Amino acid sequence: MTGAPLIGVLALQGDVREHEHALAACGAATRRVRSAEELDGLDALVVPGGESTTMSNLALRWGLMEPLRALVHGGLPAYGSCAGMIMLADRIEGGRPDQETIGGLDVTVRRNAFGRQVDSFEADLDMPVLGDRPVHAVFIRAPWVESLGPGVAVLGTVAAGPAAGRIVAVRQGHLLATSFHPELTGDTRVHEYFVEMVREQA
């Protein structure tokens, strides 16, 4: 790939603009995706944080779920943060009965895993693929990865505190997911890592 990769940001709901800014800072071009036509010609897709039940409803209602599944299961690189991680997961604990996902990532995620008493918190992570400097992560009613299949690599775990050791960043080939919101902190290393994945795949 010589030019900037074109990365779609699923814009049904959630923190779309923050991902656009982070991706632009990493040299990618972006396009908001609200319809199946807007998926045409993308090099990759980002599924933002927000509310996964709402995203699921809207994707079904707007005819996006099947096209999204076809692309993501067919090898389109995708990155999901928080609700986006849930959308990319094959299995959910604590989901709504009617909640569907795009899937592709062979993991079980637990919704609102860190407990309702702490709606949001910040923690340092060990994330060796991003270098020695710890990642300062923001979690907002976040899921964690409860279990994972053999093809899934753990990229990040909570370093300390009551949730120490919990899996919060994973990669399976062309799919990347984080429980936290790197788009909110100004640390673009996760997005840089994803854009590099996209360039390698191209």
Which residues would be at the binding site for ligand GLN (CB under 6 A)?
A: 49-52, 82-83, 86, 111-112, 140-141
The residue among 18 and 43 lying less far from ligand GLN, judged by its C-beta, is 18
- Number of residues written out for the chain: 202
Assess whether 82 carries a catalytic annotation. Answer: yes
Q: CB of residue 100 vs ligand GLN: minimum separation in angstroms?
A: 13
Q: Report the phi/psi class of residue 173: left, alpha or beta, with left for phi > 0 and alpha for psi in -120 to 50.
A: left
Q: CB of residue 1 vs ligand GLN: minimum separation in angstroms?
A: 29
Assess whether 174 carries a catalytic annotation. Answer: no
The residue among 50 and 156 lying less far from ligand GLN, judged by its C-beta, is 50
Kindly tell me the burial class for residue 33, based on how many C-beta atoms sit within 10 Å of its own C-beta (0-12, 13-18, 19 or more).
buried
Catalytic residue among 19, 20, 100, 181: 181
Judge whether 78 and 197 are in contact, CB under 8 Å. Answer: no
Q: CB of residue 54 vs ligand GLN: minimum separation in angstroms?
A: 8
Sorted by sequence, the CB contacts under 8 Å of residue 48 that are 6+ apart come out as: 9, 10, 11, 14, 15, 16, 18, 19, 81, 82, 83, 84, 183
The residue among 36 and 121 lying less far from ligand GLN, judged by its C-beta, is 121
Catalytic residue among 18, 20, 100, 183: 183
The residue among 56 and 188 lying less far from ligand GLN, judged by its C-beta, is 56
Can you read off the two tokens belonging to residue 54? 């709402």
The residue among 46 and 86 lying less far from ligand GLN, judged by its C-beta, is 86
Kindly tell me the burial class for residue 161, based on how many C-beta atoms sit within 10 Å of its own C-beta (0-12, 13-18, 19 or more).
exposed
Q: CB of residue 75 vs ligand GLN: minimum separation in angstroms?
A: 25
Catalytic residue among 20, 26, 82, 100: 82
Identity of residue 163? A
Which DSSP string corresponds to 61-72? HTT-HHHHHHHH
Assess whether 183 carries a catalytic annotation. Answer: yes
Q: CB of residue 175 vs ligand GLN: minimum separation in angstroms?
A: 17
Q: Catalytic residue positions?
A: 82, 181, 183
